[in-house]
């Protein structure tokens, strides 16, 4: 099974796993795609290598930072100075940029020829720069405007376009045929409704509805959203990963999938032994004011036997049956944090229960760290002469199942309980806010 991921900070909101897993499933590929939370590009690449991923998409704010960590970078990614797609080619990591393709293909989908069109691109960051590169290549006449005028001028000089001061934004919006909004619309509402006519085309790189939707509705002009860009940049990414062209309609089906309301109120922690599920789970429960449930404790209470004794007397098969029965009951409760045993993901039905009923976080650290934390005589699967070798083999056989069940991987290596807890808490709040 090949593993793929998307990384960024934050990342729980990303639609990429929905898009890729939908078509992976339809095409019956031996692959799993998941979210990889990281604080920086170096951490993301470290986990990429440790898990031996086959590919990874990169979103803000790592697209430029990650370049120096790669073995090779495609010429167009170098020009844009941003990588959003990484492919593992025989152990060498090569970076590509498909964002600019996402922009230009979205215009093509709407029957818009960019050649000689007057365009103003608002924002000279990563998304703006990809738009500049792609649209300039397609023959558009581009003016770049950014609140950081030096950055705008630098990008304009690099690509042979014009940069104008921010104070002239109204003039150039009114004069342009196409407006590309390449800043966070949730934070900055730079365009005024009175500047817009029904003849404008507005391209909002944000795929969540923004203030621009109301402007478009009131003015009757055309809107292209970041959702279209997301799909169109994913297509060449899929081609890099799997060597074939995907069905766009299937990708759209994945994009439109929503996280069920039930999942927002139930949190599950999975991962290999010794990754910190119990400690983090208790801290999360306190932070959210949720009830903490430890699956191992529930098993001991139900059987009146230790985990070790269950394995010795009844065997692993019986243990897994008991574990599954308890999971079926506990995972359907609301306002709970459920800490799961390391092998719970071996059963497909368990993985389905986790995916359908909980926000599931995969706590990850190295096998060596796991063994150092867990090899205290209470882990029946480590009762062997060479626990490190046994643990490595176990983890390798399980990692695809962790990836399959998880909404997001969280690194716990060299991090304390408070840091891991805060990471999960922040990701949930940034994605759901008070809707949780």
- Residue 378's pLDDT band, with cuts at 50, 70 and 90, is low
User: What CATH fold (topology level) applies to the domain 261-435?
Assistant: Rossmann fold (3.40.50)
Domains of the chain by residue range: 2-97, 101-229, 261-435
Do residues 345 and 337 lie in contact, with contact meaning Cβ atoms separated by under 8 Å?
Answer: no
On the question of a common fold for 2-97 and 101-229, the answer reads: yes
Do residues 165 and 137 lie in contact, with contact meaning Cβ atoms separated by under 8 Å?
Answer: no
- The answer to whether the Cα torsion of 244, 247, 250, 255 is positive or negative is positive
Predicted pLDDT of residue 128? 92
User: Any idea which residue has 């970076």 for tokens?
Assistant: 95
**Active site annotation includes 78:** no
Class of domain 2-97: alpha beta
Predicted pLDDT of residue 375? 56
* Residue 410 CB partners (closer than 8 Å, separation 6+): 37, 361, 362, 363, 364, 420, 423, 424
Q: What is the mean pLDDT of residues 75-102?
A: 96
Helix (H) or strand (E) run with residue 163 in it: strand 162-163
Predicted pLDDT of residue 262? 65
Q: Is it the case that residue 383 has pLDDT exceeding 60?
A: no
Query: Which segment of 40-49, 367-376, 389-398 scores lowest on mean pLDDT?
Result: 367-376
Predicted pLDDT of residue 239? 97
Predicted pLDDT of residue 382? 57
Q: pTM for the complete prediction?
A: 0.91
Provide the token pair at 108. Answer: 């093509």
User: What CATH fold (topology level) applies to the domain 101-229?
Assistant: Rossmann fold (3.40.50)
Predicted pLDDT of residue 33? 98
d(CA 211, CA 348): 43
Predicted pLDDT of residue 431? 87
Do residues 120 and 131 lie in contact, with contact meaning Cβ atoms separated by under 8 Å?
Answer: no
Predicted pLDDT of residue 380? 54
Question: Which of the following is catalytic: 63, 117, 415, 423?
Answer: 63
- Residue 314's pLDDT band, with cuts at 50, 70 and 90, is confident
* Residue 66 CB partners (closer than 8 Å, separation 6+): 41, 44, 45, 58, 83, 86, 95
Q: What is the mean pLDDT of residues 326-355?
A: 93
Mean pLDDT, the chain, whole residue set: 91
């Amino acid at each position: 099974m090949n593993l793929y991921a998307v990384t960024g900070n934050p990342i729980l909101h990303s639609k990429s796993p929905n898009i890729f897993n939908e078509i992976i499933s339809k095409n019956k590929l031996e692959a799993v795609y998941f979210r990889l939370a990281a604080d920086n590009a170096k951490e993301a690449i470290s986990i990429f290598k440790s898990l031996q991923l086959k590919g990874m998409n990169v979103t803000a704010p790592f697209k430029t930072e990650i370049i120096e960590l790669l073995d090779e970078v495609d010429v167009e990614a170098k020009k844009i100075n941003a990588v959003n797609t990484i492919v593992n080619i025989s152990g060498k990591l090569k970076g590509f940029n498909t964002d600019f393709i996402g922009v230009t293909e979205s215009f093509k989908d709407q029957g818009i020829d960019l050649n000689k069109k007057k365009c103003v691109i608002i924002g000279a960051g990563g998304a703006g720069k990809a738009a500049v590169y792609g649209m300039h290549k397609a023959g558009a006449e581009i003016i770049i405007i950014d609140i950081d005028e030096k950055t705008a001028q630098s990008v304009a000089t690099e690509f042979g376009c014009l940069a104008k001061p921010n104070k002239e934004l109204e003039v150039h919006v009114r004069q342009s045929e196409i407006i590309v909004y390449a800043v966070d619309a949730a934070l900055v509402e730079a365009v005024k409704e009175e500047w817009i006519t029904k003849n404008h085309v507005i391209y909002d790189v944000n795929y969540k509805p923004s203030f621009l939707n109301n402007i478009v509705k009131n003015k009757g002009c055309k809107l292209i959203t970041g959702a279209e860009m997301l799909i169109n940049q994913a297509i060449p990414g899929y081609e890099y990963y799997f060597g074939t062209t995907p069905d766009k309609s299937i990708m759209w089906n994945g994009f439109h999938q929503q996280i069920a309301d039930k999942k927002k109120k139930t949190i599950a922690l999975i991962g290999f032994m010794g990754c910190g599920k119990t400690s983090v789970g208790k801290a999360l429960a306190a932070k959210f004011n949720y009830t903490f449930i430890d699956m191992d404790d529930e098993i001991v209470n139900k059987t009146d036997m230790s985990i070790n004794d269950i394995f010795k007397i009844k065997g692993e098969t019986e243990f897994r049956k008991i574990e599954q029965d308890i999971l079926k009951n506990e995972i359907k409760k609301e306002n709970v944090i459920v800490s799961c045993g390391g092998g719970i993901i071996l059963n497909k039905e368990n993985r389905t229960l986790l995916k359908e009923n909980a926000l599931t976080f995969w706590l990850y650290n190295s096998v060596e760290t796991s063994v150092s934390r867990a090899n205290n005589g209470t882990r029946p699967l480590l009762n062997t002469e060479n626990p490190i070798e046994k643990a490595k083999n176990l983890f390798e056989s399980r990692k695809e199942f962790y990836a399959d069940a998880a909404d997001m991987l969280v690194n716990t290596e060299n991090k304390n309980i408070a840091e891991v807890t805060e990471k999960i808490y922040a990701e949930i709040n940034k994605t759901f806010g008070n809707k949780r």
